[in-house]
Amino acid sequence: MINIIFLGPPGSGKGTQALDLANFLSVPTISTGEALRKEVEAESDVGLMAKNYMSSGKLVPDEVVVNIIKNRISNSDCNNGFIVDGFPRNLSQAIVFDKMMEKLGRKVNAAINFTANDETLIKRISGRFSCKNCGAVYNSYFKPTKKAEVCDNCESNQFQSRNDDNEVTVRERLKFYQESAEDLIGYYEKKNLIYSVDALKSVPFIFEELKKIVQELQK
Ligand code: AP5
């Protein structure tokens, strides 16, 4: 069983790599951002509450995301491990998460820290779009569709962008990330769980690095 968390600023490629690595390990990916976007779309109580935080780039209150994670990691599909993308986001979430894991008789095996500079992150985020039908993620600068305006995956021609993917909100998201990153990374450093990856490298290069880390952990 292997339980991995992905840390790193917005646009550093956590979601992209989480899907590939989860496939490789045959474990689920848990993304608090994705779960919250579903709640917003469904206009649930959680979604209505989270919407303003998300569209202004702020963190959603801890109790909301902690609840999402708590419900999700106790599902049977997580029995062989999981990859969490976007949680914990601050020290208090990390501490609560450890307690939650301890109760389940589990622990975090690695905290992968994606590093990149702000200007690249802003460019990546402003170029991001996804297929409305199947959710495949593209990037107008770095990963365009093979055929103009046709999804490589399902051939739909309907695309969408996240409403927090504009430069003003991204700068806010980066600011909030910086506020808690040092404490969060320090917490996992003390536990010897931090593995850093250079998020400026290509998607396949980073994936190979992640596979090496995982293979080391599995020895
Ligand atoms: P969330 O959805 O988690 O967003 P984020 O952390 O800001 O991260 P992103 O999804 O923007 O980026 P990513 O690192 O996954 O990059 P991706 O792989 O997509 O959170 C959204 C909001 O929800 C938060 O702001 C907050 O309000 C709330 N929230 C979520 N979790 C929370 C928590 N725990 N506590 C409180 N609030 C929470 O890649 C980005 C783009 O770059 C893509 O287009 C991709 O194709 C491209 N790309 C990826 N890798 C590369 C590469 N190596 N080279 C070139 N292009 C690349």
Q: What is the pLDDT of residues 120-145, one digit of tens each?
A: 999 999 999 999 999 999 999 999 99
Ligand 1 center from residue 9 Cα (angstroms): 7
Give yes or no for a cis peptide into 28 (omega within 30° of 0). Answer: no
Q: How far apart are alpha carbons 164 and 172 in whole angstroms?
A: 10
CA-based torsion, 136, 139, 140, 141: positive or negative:
negative
Phi and psi angles of residue 83, each rounded to the nearest 5 degrees, phi first: -120, 125
Residue nearest to atom 6 of ligand 1 (CA): 10
Average pLDDT, the chain: 95
Q: How far is CA 10 from CA 15, 28, 49, in A?
A: 10, 21, 21
Give yes or no for a cis peptide into 88 (omega within 30° of 0). Answer: yes
Residue range 161-187: mean pLDDT, rounded: 94
Ligand 1 center from residue 13 Cα (angstroms): 7
CA-based torsion, 122, 41, 46, 83: positive or negative:
negative
Burial (CB count <10 Å: 0-12, 13-18, 19+), residue 184: buried
Q: Is residue 53's pLDDT more than 90?
A: yes
Residue range 105-115: mean pLDDT, rounded: 97
Residue range 74-95: mean pLDDT, rounded: 95
Residue range 147-165: mean pLDDT, rounded: 95
- Structure token digits, residue 31: 């993304």
Q: Is residue 163's pLDDT more than 90?
A: no
- pTM check: above 0.85: yes
219 pLDDT band (50/70/90 cuts)? confident
167 pLDDT band (50/70/90 cuts)? confident
Task: Write the pLDDT tens digit of every residue in 182-214.
Answer: 999 999 999 999 999 999 999 999 999 999 999
Q: How far apart are alpha carbons 23 and 74 in whole angstroms?
A: 20
- Structure token digits, residue 172: 């806010």
Return the active site residues: 14, 89, 128, 162, 173
Q: How far apart are alpha carbons 188 and 120 in whole angstroms?
A: 25
CB 33 less than 6 A from any atom of ligand 1? yes
Residue range 61-74: mean pLDDT, rounded: 94
* Percentage of the chain modeled with pLDDT above 90: 97
Ligand 1 center from residue 33 Cα (angstroms): 8
Kindly state the helix (H) or strand (E) to which residue 4 belongs, with its residue range. Answer: strand 2-7
Q: How far apart are alpha carbons 219 and 217 in whole angstroms?
A: 6
Please name which of 71, 105, 81 lies closest in space to residue 22, comparing C-alpha atoms: 81
Cα 94 to chain centroid distance, Å, stands at: 15
pLDDT in the model for residue 32 = 96
